[in-house]
Structure 1
Amino acid sequence: MTFPVLADKVAIVTGAAMGMGEETAKLFAEAGARVVVADFNEEKGRAVAAAIEQSGGEALYIKVDISDSRQVQALIAQTVAHYGRLDVAINNAAISPDNALVEDFDENYWDRLMSIDLKGTALTLKYELQQMVKQGGGGSIVNIASVSAFRPQGGDVAYVSAKAAVVGMTKVAAVENGPHGIRVNAVAPGAIDTAMLRSSLGARGMTIEEFAPTMSVFNRLGHGREIAQASLWLASDASSYVTGVTIPVDAGYTSR
């Protein structure tokens, strides 16, 4: 059961066309938020927004490449033009780990991943904060990091570096914006069953059955909705005294 803990709130979810972002957008709509489904994939993004509307929620799709400052600014402007304000943001958009050793990483892929996973998160955070400070009344922002920032495996140096930086960025933004009543936190997902993870495993020649026990004391992958629930708690007033933290949702992976 979902309670209307985000009633009358306006929430942006980036990377909302699939995976954890899709689950988050749908859960937030169930919790009463007016949701902006932000994603570069127009076909899938529009489908998610339509599914929310068909279920009785309120959603708006906006196409955005978060690595482009002008498009991120337009995302915020369109959100405010349509809904009047911005209360919550989930910065989830990212691309797959690079599957490369430190001594052999591909510079082109490094640049592409950093432009989205790190710079893109920074840009969305920047302009979300500007809007929240301008309108007053506080707000809540959740950056999606990764347990790889705390307990990395080999073979994904760019991804680990980007997600570790997201954790640091979250802390800085929380310290700077506490006086404005804006909370900034992060969620660090463990092994979640998404198309991105399946693609990454395929590139490594691993099956889910082989991988899950190495990442989870439950011997299973997590579900996108389980990450969405953590983001929902951080987005809601239930976590009103929480800022600057990163919550692992990882079935014990960082505990052993």
Structure 2
Amino acid sequence: MSSTVSTNTKGTALVTGAAQGIGRAIALQLAADGFDVGINDIPSKITLLEAVKAEVTGTGRRAAIFAADISVDADVRKMVADCVETFGGLDVMVANAAICKARGSLLDIDVAEWDHTFEINVRGTFLCYQHAARQMMAQGRGGRIIGACSGAGKQGYGMLPDYSASKFAVRGLTQAAAQEFGKHGITVNAYAPGSVVTAMTEQFPLLAGMNQEAFFEAQAQLAATKRNCTPEDIARMVSFLAAKESGFITGQSISVDGGRYFD
């Protein structure tokens, strides 16, 4: 790949939770699409972020790291401001960061664990939507806000009660934000992956008492396509939602699950 930075850009995208997995794939896809990319994750993942930054700049696009805790209002406010200062604006916000812990039972979750899931998955998404929308409205040229829902945000899972509830909340937030921001030329959508093998989901086979290969093969058989979702599948959906051609689609949480569920 070329290491020469191009000045011809589609704009600026900011991707949270971009150190690995789905967020990394999204950052690389948007760079390939022609966006300069701000990448975010928590400060402890700075080494991983540096590697993603190198991959983005290897495509010829500009990249910058904005380490922040997306559940903290001041952090998100500064992250957006620093992105704008670095790149000159913000055109696409991908609120990808989330946490998920498999549970043996709803009865096993204490209040602190429940609250922590909602702090990251719901409050964090809300703050990204809010501060991105304010910036996009100030710019006056519209924009794309994209959140991370899940198949668990359409069908709750017994081993994921707090995660499922948080992703249902993201769907509602996405619909409400779409209704408000549409008049400003800002679309708000979310992607809802099916079973995808990432560092976050590798905990599930253990709880199910299965080895990883057998667990994910069983998950694949639940889809019409008989395969699991990949981070790249999700990144391609984000690519479309970030493009000008998707301008009449808003308020949707689009399944990327190979036909496991039909909306």
TM-score, L = length of structure 2: 0.91
SS at match of 1:49: helix
Q: 1:215 to 1:66 in 2, by over 3 A?
A: farther
Contact persistence 2:224–2:260 (CA under 8 A): yes
2:47 corresponds in structure 1 to: 43
Q: Deviations over 1:78-135 (max 9, x none)?
A: 0010011100011100012342423332322111111101111111111111111111
1:55 deviates by 3.1
Q: Deviations over 1:185-224 (max 9, x none)?
A: 1110111121111123334333342342354233322110
Q: 1:181 to 1:94 in 2, by over 3 A?
A: same
- In 2: Cα distance, 1:239 partner to 1:177 partner: 15
1:72 deviates by 0.4
SS at match of 1:35: strand
Say which of 6, 10, 33 aligns to 2:35: 33
1:179-194 pair list within 5 angstroms: 179-194=183-198
SS at match of 1:201: helix
2:15 corresponds in structure 1 to: 13
1:148 corresponds in structure 2 to: 152
> Partner amino acid for 2:25?
E
2:98 corresponds in structure 1 to: 94
Q: 1:112 to 1:214 in 2, by over 3 A?
A: farther
> Partner amino acid for 1:228?
A
SS at match of 1:195: coil
| Identity rate, percent | 34
- In 1: Cα distance, 2:192 partner to 2:119 partner: 20
Query: Which range moves more in the overlay, 220-229 or 158-167?
Result: 220-229
Say which of 209, 233, 258 aligns to 1:251: 258
Query: Which range moves more in the overlay, 99-108 or 58-67?
Result: 99-108
> Partner amino acid for 2:71?
S
TM-score, L = length of structure 1: 0.93
Contact persistence 1:99–1:204 (CA under 8 A): no
Say which of 138, 141, 163 aligns to 1:134: 138
Say which of 151, 164, 178 aligns to 1:160: 164
- Where do 5+ consecutive residues of structure 1 fail to align? 1-5
> Partner amino acid for 1:216?
A
Contact persistence 1:96–1:200 (CA under 8 A): no
1:209 corresponds in structure 2 to: 214
Q: 1:214 to 1:149 in 2, by over 3 A?
A: farther
2:226 corresponds in structure 1 to: 219
1:113 corresponds in structure 2 to: 117
Contact persistence 1:100–1:106 (CA under 8 A): no
SS at match of 1:198: coil
Q: Deviations over 1:212-255 (max 9, x none)?
A: 23542333221101000001101111111111111100111113
SS at match of 1:128: helix
> Partner amino acid for 2:177?
A
2:239 pairs with 1:235? no
1:82 corresponds in structure 2 to: 86
Contact persistence 2:104–2:207 (CA under 8 A): no
SS at match of 1:12: strand
1:3 corresponds in structure 2 to: none
Query: Which range moves more in the overlay, 123-132 or 200-209?
Result: 200-209
- In 2: Cα distance, 1:65 partner to 1:98 partner: 22
SS at match of 2:224: coil
- Where do 5+ consecutive residues of structure 2 fail to align? 1-7
- In 2: Cα distance, 1:77 partner to 1:92 partner: 18
